[in-house]
Structure 1
């Protein structure tokens, strides 16, 4: 197949998806507004970098599509790229929604009609949460064209061995407990709540290390906050990390924390579940699709440092229960959120559209 994608070229989620189909031998054309991340290998992918005014780019995309004659046009993210795809009037047209592109923009009286227009123009829409599927139906999108495809986990990556399993490369551990956050340092991910949680935890267990990955608009403020709270020696801000390095960090972590204010199916949460890090996440509907409180992780109220601290300490003080949670999550990921299986489902959808 010849597949043409409209998507940001600096996004790891777009890249993983598109690179998968390039490696499967399909002809790939990628139209984007952003240069690719320098760490992305672009073998087998032809990139078309757009510049200029919105209307100019619509015409440019139409011209590219006429020249390359793809079998399928696929937009990732229902905002600008979804609108580009819809306005090009090319079919079959697939649109993948990511979450915030719908959850946030439908609150805008200006953007909501544009999002709905793009959704209605698509022949197939994919999303990665049942809650998102229900929301799309509430927006009067035809249910039969909405498919759930998860941004799953590559289960071939290393993970921490369970009890009675041999140790593996990349699963090295430290004696000091580690709590990790992998969300970007932007207001929507509310990493401030984790920072405010740390003093409560350190009162009971002063030898814990908190790793805060990612970058964003809140980075300087959060670093200053750790200074004001007197906890800089326990917090490591490690910045943006390459996706290929995430398993190495997760394999060392005891607990994964996400304090996000809104979400769909979080890829970093899925990766944490596979690695064996115990998830403690905020009480959001998509999170409840993945985690049953007390069974395979823990759900905490939004913006509640005291409750989050109690859950972190509970995990560190109950190793037998934690081992059960790890086993449950590894099984869940392998059965339902396996990257290769999900992309296999997507390839079937592509073929059905031809």
Structure 2
């Protein structure tokens, strides 16, 4: 059995996907990915070289299966691999981003072409299926199931006696709006409400976020942790009672699942992907994007939540155990792949 994975193998989501397939199918996946780089010209040259290597697979024994993440890049490249079956997984609400302009036009074409030719289209949540159907994916080809998270790593300890603290586990890119979180903490401080926050990850927005933290003199309140290995993240989450993520766009977020499993009360953007798992004021709070004052109001409300927050944390953990168990879900996913390969 030969399976090829096309995608960014350094990403935690990709690693968990690959490991789950390897464990359940008893095979070591081969991998290919585009080289990383900042130069657009060099990336284009690398893409042509990458494309050429995939075409050369036509002269060798075919793969039994190719798994590709993101329809508009690796999903499209997968069409040129010599393989018996193809699975394409969507990463966001749609993989066409930005949706307007020339970029949106040609990415829409790539997504549509990838879904037409794929044998299975994988959605990590129902919210992704709308873009798939609009792009021409046949409903019978769509599989909806998250990879899940390893529940043995997330303990969900009792956090009633913790001082107010939250964690942010999204990379420091503009779309994740870390600056809005800094602004919200400043607003709360002006109201004499104090909360400590840990920001995990790196990215191009780090200098701006650091500058804003220093401007507001919040160095003792907001701690930039930088990159934290994924296996060390649960320990840090155990120190926090709340989870904040306010991106302007969102797919099905493993970070949200990890927070729910760890006993961190979610305060997240009011987007369809989050609405599927969070009911405002019940098991979390939903806030409008790019609205620091609204975010500050939500945090203040949650800090006064008391028993409501405790009940929400228990409800969230039960939901994750029932629907987002990595071992259970990856077995179902891998069994689907096995069946797909057997139906030649």
What is the TM-score of this pair, normalised by structure 1? 0.87
1:142 corresponding residue in structure 2: 138
CA 1:205/1:321 → structure 2, altered by over 3 Å: closer, same or farther?
Answer: farther
1:217 corresponding residue in structure 2: 204
CA 1:65/1:245 → structure 2, altered by over 3 Å: closer, same or farther?
Answer: farther
In structure 1, the residue corresponding to 2:243 is in which secondary structure?
strand
1:126 equivalent to 2:122? Answer yes
User: Alignment partner for residue 157 of structure 1, among 153, 169, 187?
Assistant: 153
1-structure distance, mates of 2:23, 2:332: 16
1:10 corresponding residue in structure 2: 10
1:43 corresponding residue in structure 2: none
CA 1:250/1:267 → structure 2, altered by over 3 Å: closer, same or farther?
Answer: same
1-structure distance, mates of 2:29, 2:59: 15
Contact preservation (8 Å) 2:198, 2:222: yes
Contact preservation (8 Å) 2:34, 2:46: no
CA 1:223/1:58 → structure 2, altered by over 3 Å: closer, same or farther?
Answer: same
User: Alignment partner for residue 86 of structure 2, among 93, 97, 109?
Assistant: 93
1-structure distance, mates of 2:161, 2:208: 29
Contact preservation (8 Å) 2:173, 2:204: yes
In structure 2, the residue corresponding to 1:290 is in which secondary structure?
coil
CA 1:103/1:131 → structure 2, altered by over 3 Å: closer, same or farther?
Answer: farther
Contact preservation (8 Å) 1:79, 1:101: no
1:30 equivalent to 2:58? Answer no
Contact preservation (8 Å) 2:285, 2:298: yes
2:54 corresponding residue in structure 1: 61
In structure 2, the residue corresponding to 1:176 is in which secondary structure?
coil
In structure 2, the residue corresponding to 1:27 is in which secondary structure?
coil
2:286 corresponding residue in structure 1: 299
RMSD across aligned positions (CA):
2.3
Unaligned runs of 5+ in 1: 36-49, 163-170
2:187 corresponding residue in structure 1: 200
Unaligned runs of 5+ in 2: 37-42
Give the CA deviation at 1:204. 4.2
Q: Which has the higher contact order (CA 8 A, sep 6+)?
A: 2
2-structure distance, mates of 1:310, 1:65: 58
2-structure distance, mates of 1:60, 1:139: 28
CA 1:34/1:11 → structure 2, altered by over 3 Å: closer, same or farther?
Answer: farther
User: Alignment partner for residue 271 of structure 1, among 249, 255, 258?
Assistant: 258
2:245 corresponding residue in structure 1: 258
In structure 2, the residue corresponding to 1:252 is in which secondary structure?
coil
2:95 corresponding residue in structure 1: 102
Give the CA deviation at 1:257. 0.3
Contact preservation (8 Å) 2:93, 2:127: no
User: Alignment partner for residue 71 of structure 1, among 53, 59, 64?
Assistant: 64
